[in-house]
Structure 1
Amino acid sequence: MPLEAGLLEILACPACHAPLKETSAKESSAEEQQPELLCTGKDCGLAYPVRDDIPVLLVDEARRPA
């Protein structure tokens, strides 16, 4: 289930405060098969997992996409 547009508009990367964009399970890596929120910041680019339709916006839980 995709995140509501209103929620996605107010979420920001906790590391750099840039907006986030949602990626589907198809776009994420084969290992992860779960949706993610990608930071749109030029120098950041962290990917935050979405588990059970809840964004996990913890820098320690984020991964740096390859």
Structure 2
Amino acid sequence: MSGSAQTNLKLPPGSRIQVKPAAGPRLAGKIGTVVGAGYYPKSLRVILDGSKGPITLHVDYVAMIDT
């Protein structure tokens, strides 16, 4: 499942993302790196810059950053 989820989301591991304001005030605007697909089809595992471990976010809450 994780392989197909990564393909459908167009956010492969290593992609740089920014969290959208819809995710809430605590996470809005933070930048991080995708480390893989989450358990659910539209979820991503992301390590935010400065964090020690990954969190799971819905794809609607992230935007890809052009690097």
TM-score when scaled to structure 1? 0.36
Structure ranking higher in helix proportion:
2
Q: Which has the higher contact order (CA 8 A, sep 6+)?
A: 2
Structure ranking higher in strand proportion:
2
TM-score when scaled to structure 2? 0.35
